[in-house]
Structure 1
Amino acid sequence: MQSTNQKIKNAILNSFLDKNIFEQNDEYAAKLIANTKDETMYNRILDEVQHCKSFIFAVAFIESGILNSLKTVLKDLNVQGRILTSTYLYFNKPQMFRELLKLPNVEIRVYEQNHGKFHAKGYLFQHEGYQSTLVGSSNFTAVL
């Protein structure tokens, strides 16, 4: 029987190198999330937050509606988090920054536009014994 580490290793090698050599494991395989009606980045992020020990988000843009949804989920959880966002293109409104500071158990950092462009879109989740990552073109906005 394979260890969890070996299953993860094989899933990564299967996903990115050679499907003919390395064993497939759907639980740990890389996956494209294309925001279909059946699976969206928003739902995946909420699911990860509900099951992780901690999280880190690096996103340039955050909308208040999505932030309100996150606040509701975090209110009931005891999960630690960190969010790095920005003043890039002045998309994030001052009220959104004030609301971010109200998030329980979440450290907030802001990358200021005058230090250069910040247009990251990454989500890292720490679980018991492993990490999961979502990387792509989805900010924390309604189009998640």
Structure 2
Amino acid sequence: MSLPVLVVLVVIGIALSVAAVHFTGGTRTATLADAGQALARFAEDFPDEKPAAVRLTADRRAAFLALGPARTGIVSSIGDCFLTRIVTARDILALTVDDPLTISIRLGDFTWKGGRFAFAVEADAKAVAAALQDHRTREAA
């Protein structure tokens, strides 16, 4: 078999593989239907925790759960799955309020570095930022 024919076959094979993954849902991003789904997903990994409040991001790709003093639960989509974390003060490397609806969090966890989260309601963004900032303040004290 000549080299040009082999190159064409490899390119076509890769293109077909990428198309198959895309059309079977492999490139879809998971979203949370509502606060109930966020609670259920969090309870799968942390069954003993009892969140007091759930705040969803505007795109419904993340939820922040109030767990009491100095702890916040996070459910965040990674591809078509969800990742859950309990965040404390020592986990937070940086917290910035980008605008009234958006916060950015950088975590020290090498498996998930955090992200930028936009909320539909300013009160939710303020509550999450205040809770996470409170974590940092308590740790410094």
Say whether the fold is shared (TM-score over 0.5).
no
The structure richer in strand per residue is 2
TM-score by length of 2: 0.29
- Structure with larger Rg: 2
TM-score by length of 1: 0.28
More RCO (CA 8 Å, sep 6+) = 1
